[in-house]
Amino acid sequence: MSGLARMASIPELRRRILFTLLMLCVYRMGVQIPTPGINGEALADFFKKKMETLFDMVNMFSGGGLENFSIFALGIMPYISASIIIQLLTVVVPRLEALSKEGEAGRRKITQYTRYGTIFLSVVQGFFIAAGLEGQSSSNGVPIVIDPGLHFRLMTVLTLTSGTAFIMWLGEQMTERGIGNGISLIIFSGIVARMPAAFGNTVQFVKEGQLPLMLAPVLLAMMVAVIAFIIFMETSQRRLPIQYAKRVVGRQVYGGQSSHLPLKINVSGVIPPIFASSLMMFPATIASFIKVDWVQKASALLSPGTLWYYVLYVALIVFFCFFYAAVTFKPDDVAENLKKNGGFIPGIRPGKKTADFLDRTLMRLTVIGAIYLSAVCVMPTLLIHSLNVPFYFGGTALLIVVGVAIDTIAQIESHMIMRNYDGFMRAGRIQGRR
């Protein structure tokens, strides 16, 4: 029996996968529902002028929702922005820090605050977008908003906020009752859903002569190389040897075996690029609709392809790499648990010395991970812009797609291992995973 057949034979796993697919279908259907009061043809013409700008990135993360100005036009980015703010506040606000240490009850309270923040950011972002669209028109002078005014702004804010709240609920349901991380899968589905259209547009550019035919295989080879590099880095680990001391309890001998502590090279996963993209997009989206000279100049400086955009983007990626690594991995707690269980790293004294060693190791791995993420997110995009290639998927999108796919497969594998099904490891494609 193949790995996929074994996977389908597990009722709970099959139910989780089907539930996840159903929720993703609901999300994709919602992307196609337009917000009332918008001239669709004028909006499509308006977005043609916004290609290769930050709008293109926002549209990619919303799965085409912004281009259609659907009820899901804001996408999941307000939720991600709110999560960033709450996590940063957790470090500096004592009450939030105390809540984060209170276990499940504290996490539920923090989640509640994140939801409130999502609604607030959705209202602010929705209002600015609605107000900005009222002054926009197509190249023929046809206004995008059919009937501008306060009623349109209120209706748009209510529609977009409700859409974001619904997406947030979908993501939470997928995480709890489905497979994989719901929020990441929503972003994943949005990017993947736009790939056929992107490839189709690229083929059209080749036919029209805008893209040299000899350059298309180079782009494909570059894409395959980036994907292979991402898979290699995301599955790479630094394995720290762990030795457990022997203990004699009565006539039984416990411990004495060797093990290892796996530390991923990229400890933070795809979280830093997602967080960095969210922070880059949120103020830029609002600034694009504010008709003030200095605001427009600042927005132009932070457009994709500019030096300041890449500098700020890399800085945010590096910051979130270290921040997320510090939040998710506690060397002191790991060292204390090892000490309690009679474990130690050979050549390192238990306790504080072990914690310091783990901290130094984590710091070095985080540096490597930050360089890797920055290179993958920036280098392909730089190459695309330098060649003036109308290709829609740079390193950030590929990183998110591949990273989320690997994490989801790992969760499926965990479900199968827990039920003593080893189909993937014996006969599947992830045979080499350890």
Q: What percent of the chain has pLDDT over 90?
A: 10
Mean pLDDT of 184-193: 86
Give residue 427's pLDDT: 47
Give residue 387's pLDDT: 60
Q: Distance between CA atoms of 391 and 380, rounded to whole angstroms?
A: 10
63 or 24: which leads in pLDDT: 24
Averaged pLDDT score across all residues of the chain: 79
Lowest mean pLDDT among 138-142, 165-169, 355-359, 402-406: 138-142
In this predicted structure, the answer to whether residue 254 has a pLDDT above a threshold of 70 is no
Q: Distance between CA atoms of 52 and 58, rounded to whole angstroms?
A: 11
In this predicted structure, the answer to whether residue 429 has a pLDDT above a threshold of 60 is no
In this predicted structure, the answer to whether residue 158 has a pLDDT above a threshold of 90 is yes
DSSP letter at 82 equals H
270 or 428: which leads in pLDDT: 270
**Does the residue 355 lie in any domain?**
yes
CA distances from 230 to 124, 182, 224 (A): 36, 21, 10
Give residue 376's pLDDT: 86
Structure tokens at 141: 């002078």
Mean pLDDT of 291-304: 70
pLDDT-derived band at 248, boundaries 50, 70, 90: low
In this predicted structure, the answer to whether residue 142 has a pLDDT above a threshold of 50 is yes
Q: What's the CATH number where 404 sits?
A: 1.10.3370.10
**Does the residue 433 lie in any domain?**
no
**Does the residue 44 lie in any domain?**
yes
In this predicted structure, the answer to whether residue 246 has a pLDDT above a threshold of 70 is no
Mean pLDDT of 361-384: 85
**DSSP assignment of 229-275, as one string?**
HHHHHHH-EEEEEEEEPPEEETTEEE---EEEEEEESSTTTTHHHHH
**Does the residue 222 lie in any domain?**
yes
Give residue 379's pLDDT: 77
297 or 352: which leads in pLDDT: 352
Q: Distance between CA atoms of 329 and 369, rounded to whole angstroms?
A: 15
Domain holding 283, by residue range, is 3-427
**Does the residue 434 lie in any domain?**
no
Give the H/E segment covering residue 46.
helix 40-48
DSSP letter at 341 equals T
Q: What is the pLDDT of residues 7-29, one digit of tens each?
A: 666 778 888 889 999 999 999 88
In this predicted structure, the answer to whether residue 149 has a pLDDT above a threshold of 50 is yes
Mean pLDDT of 288-301: 68
**Does the residue 432 lie in any domain?**
no
Give residue 423's pLDDT: 47
Q: What percent of the chain has pLDDT over 70?
A: 81
**Does the residue 247 lie in any domain?**
yes
pTM: 0.79
Give residue 170's pLDDT: 92
- Per the structure, how many domains does the chain have? 1
**Does the residue 219 lie in any domain?**
yes
